Structure 1
């Protein structure tokens, strides 16, 4: 079936309803999605250009997607949309070891890129928990963070440039442009690559990305674990780490509910008796690294840890960080999970954790918490039994109240998952009318037909 679209030869439309249903949404619980017209899987920029031009001629909305691991509804279809599945654009175009860059298509999986550059003695730091499955295109579109972003930054810090298929006046849809640069520095004109990073596919379709790399770490990171009698006490330790001027590569929090869910599923040998664990990963080499690990353990104890130790067993340390990455899917096995992504100033982490506990009590909901605690990015996971409408309503009420609490503490409604569909009301609460108007103006300028991922972010 071709729907009278001028598509490249051999590029077939997907119209099977079951396949379309699977491609029409991401992993965001309860985010609405429409009935797509069709889907297509291009393999190169030329094909994307043809698809975009054909859709523009017929006013067909375009919804790009990668692996569908998003948690905000950012890849959800609208009625009558063309789903642009970029998973087959998965080629690593170039690894330039001399200049420490990699150029990749958007469908390259994060962990696959890490493995490829490691063979050249290089490292790509952004590491969302979905790294084994999520794609670079999706990571760029949401400005993904991850465990190492405390010390090494988020995706935007590694995007040097990109190729994108964009819009403009109706006749210009399907134009490919190069944004950004390949050099370490460059301020020639506006930072349009930075603008597209985090834009959730609403400005155009990213078809290639040039990324900055770092030298590989010289030795295995050290892991320090602290167990706490309450989640708020763990938050106090996070604030204490900041006051002490310590900068771990990662500082992660898992509460008892998360630990037990992972242990029941994977049997990693975790002790889940404490109310919360803090996991610090430190990668300063040599004697200075030993001193840093000792200092972190001392801060944990001074802040009230039940116990704090440096893990000397590499397998044990890996199991602890595996538990952090597995927390969301482990809880998802128990029923629907509505996932938050608020971020507050690091000094306000204890207050935010306390607010989450009060919100859970007020609404009669179970809220498990994991967090990139070191940079204030909290992921409260609101659980609701399947088929229980009252529990679902309570979960959604708690979701909105958590957003309001984060804003009141000087925070943001989304640290790394993106606005998508779920956070639009929260974004309007967070940002001023003037700033929202600027965002709408940018969208209307770059996409006057409102074809690129309509209904997301600015709505």
Structure 2
């Protein structure tokens, strides 16, 4: 009944059941996150089709998992036993860009960089820029509240979502939020959907806020002997009063992986690289860059410079985006995504080094250091089960460390399957009960991405 019903609801070719075809949709990029083979993959093109699929699955008692580009790193888009994947790859249209209101309406399958390019043609800018922006989609970005390098100054996806069209777990098509600059009408249900990881509804359209084109950025580079030294530089920058538009940390292991792949010569100067950008207009931006340079030197940089070559500066940030795919070439990558108060970044980086030593693993480190969002990573060579097991234990220690210092278990990747234990520790029982009540209101049948974020037996 399930498959025959889906075939009746959607045109030919948009319901996949062949095992080889559906296998490509079974999981995201999270290492070690469990997944099943979906019963079917459906590829709708309208909210009406999505609603029909939801109603049919409710009637059949079949779970649904929404999927964008599959670039997630927490298992949030992984298929569940007996479930259907709803892929939004065919809903990939930019519906409108409104220059006067500075907003865009897009379908969930629009790739982040494609939206940014379309906005740039109007002299506008969509700031959220996750490292996966050349591939990840707006629907997935909204589902995980994605961030990126520029969020230290400009905020994360949630800060740009004005409204959306959603299909609830009951099959209702509803519009949440607004298209105006502000509103105080009722609860912020659109905001509630941001970061909900497909557990509250299927997003079929998003209205996002845009900014005017940004000023040219000035890039400052600093090299440091170790992670704590780079952490001190981050603290110096943030204490200076300068608001950088990016402040990224990349350690030598990550740089070497990119060098070995792309031969960019990144590892010549030091063990840890800090990349900063300042985009204030005119002389203020120049002065800010000099303050950042002085902060790097005061923290003990072994080498520092303000880049005068725009192409060189862009190449450095492009290299930073290449770190994860470069590491994947070496093996499976266990990736953390903690976010801690900026005042304790130095302490936490030192503790991560100690945890690595205690568990005999090398933890590579990448970070949106300016907002305390740290991405420690363990590369597990093929067949190295010992490193995998020790790395998994080390990462649970890091999750606990984040909670202990007043941080959070995920800054931008989402909870998915990998952070459920940590989230249960981060949130009190009363707050978790509030989350479950919200879930019940949006998804009364409990079919939307079950078993993710909160344990089903909690």
Shared fold per TM-score greater than 0.5: yes
Q: In structure 1, what is the Cα distance between the partners aligned to 2:397 and 2:378? A: 12
The residue that corresponds to 2:249 in the other structure is 253
Q: Structure 1 pair 257/372, CA: closer, same or farther in 2 (3 Å)? A: same
**SS of match in other structure, 2:412:** coil
For the pair 1:114 / 2:116, whether they are aligned, the reply is yes
The residue that corresponds to 2:50 in the other structure is 48
Q: In structure 1, what is the Cα distance between the partners aligned to 2:386 and 2:272? A: 28
Q: In structure 2, what is the Cα distance between the partners aligned to 1:434 and 1:179? A: 26
Which residue, 85, 95, 98 being the options, matches 1:96? 98
The residue that corresponds to 2:190 in the other structure is 193
Counting matched residue pairs gives: 453
Deviation at 1:449, TM superposition (A): 1.1
Deviation at 1:139, TM superposition (A): 0.2
The residue that corresponds to 1:313 in the other structure is 309
What TM-score does the superposition give when structure 2 sets the normalisation length?
A: 0.97
The residue that corresponds to 1:170 in the other structure is none
Q: In structure 2, what is the Cα distance between the partners aligned to 1:402 and 1:54? A: 42
CA contact (8 A) 1:122 1:214 kept: yes
Which residue, 340, 354, 361 being the options, matches 2:336? 340
The residue that corresponds to 2:31 in the other structure is 29
CA contact (8 A) 2:14 2:44 kept: no
CA contact (8 A) 2:76 2:197 kept: yes
CA contact (8 A) 2:46 2:204 kept: yes
Deviation at 1:385, TM superposition (A): 1.6
Residues 367-418 of structure 1 show CA distances to partners (whole Å, capped at 9, x for unaligned) of 1000000000000011222112111110110110110111111111100000
The residue that corresponds to 1:395 in the other structure is 391
For the pair 1:4 / 2:1, whether they are aligned, the reply is no
Q: In structure 2, what is the Cα distance between the partners aligned to 1:194 and 1:272? A: 45
Q: In structure 1, what is the Cα distance between the partners aligned to 2:173 and 2:248? A: 40
For the pair 1:404 / 2:400, whether they are aligned, the reply is yes
Unaligned runs of 5+ in 1: 168-172
For the pair 1:237 / 2:233, whether they are aligned, the reply is yes
CA contact (8 A) 2:342 2:372 kept: yes
Root mean square deviation, CA, Å:
1.1
Deviation at 1:11, TM superposition (A): 5.7
The residue that corresponds to 2:168 in the other structure is 166
Q: In structure 2, what is the Cα distance between the partners aligned to 1:366 and 1:229? A: 16
Q: In structure 2, what is the Cα distance between the partners aligned to 1:95 and 1:111? A: 15
For the pair 1:450 / 2:446, whether they are aligned, the reply is yes
What TM-score does the superposition give when structure 1 sets the normalisation length?
A: 0.97
Q: In structure 2, what is the Cα distance between the partners aligned to 1:143 and 1:22? A: 24
Residues 35-58 of structure 1 show CA distances to partners (whole Å, capped at 9, x for unaligned) of 211011011111111111111111
Residues 161-209 of structure 1 show CA distances to partners (whole Å, capped at 9, x for unaligned) of 0000013xxxxx2110000000010010000000000000000100000
Deviation at 1:318, TM superposition (A): 1.1
CA contact (8 A) 2:5 2:56 kept: no
CA contact (8 A) 2:248 2:276 kept: yes
Which residue, 202, 206, 213 being the options, matches 1:205? 202
Q: In structure 2, what is the Cα distance between the partners aligned to 1:127 and 1:12? A: 31
For the pair 1:134 / 2:136, whether they are aligned, the reply is yes
Deviation at 1:12, TM superposition (A): 3.5
**SS of match in other structure, 2:71:** coil
Residues 218-268 of structure 1 show CA distances to partners (whole Å, capped at 9, x for unaligned) of 3x2110001111111000111111111111000000000011110110112
**SS of match in other structure, 1:366:** coil
CA contact (8 A) 1:63 1:75 kept: yes
Q: In structure 2, what is the Cα distance between the partners aligned to 1:112 and 1:38? A: 29
Deviation at 1:22, TM superposition (A): 1.3
CA contact (8 A) 1:365 1:384 kept: no
More displaced 10-residue stretch of structure 1: 371-380 or 233-242: 233-242
**SS of match in other structure, 2:163:** strand
The residue that corresponds to 1:151 in the other structure is 153
Q: In structure 2, what is the Cα distance between the partners aligned to 1:447 and 1:380? A: 34
Runs of 4+ in 1 over 6 A off after TM superposition: none
More displaced 10-residue stretch of structure 1: 282-291 or 189-198: 282-291
Which residue, 258, 263, 269 being the options, matches 1:262? 258
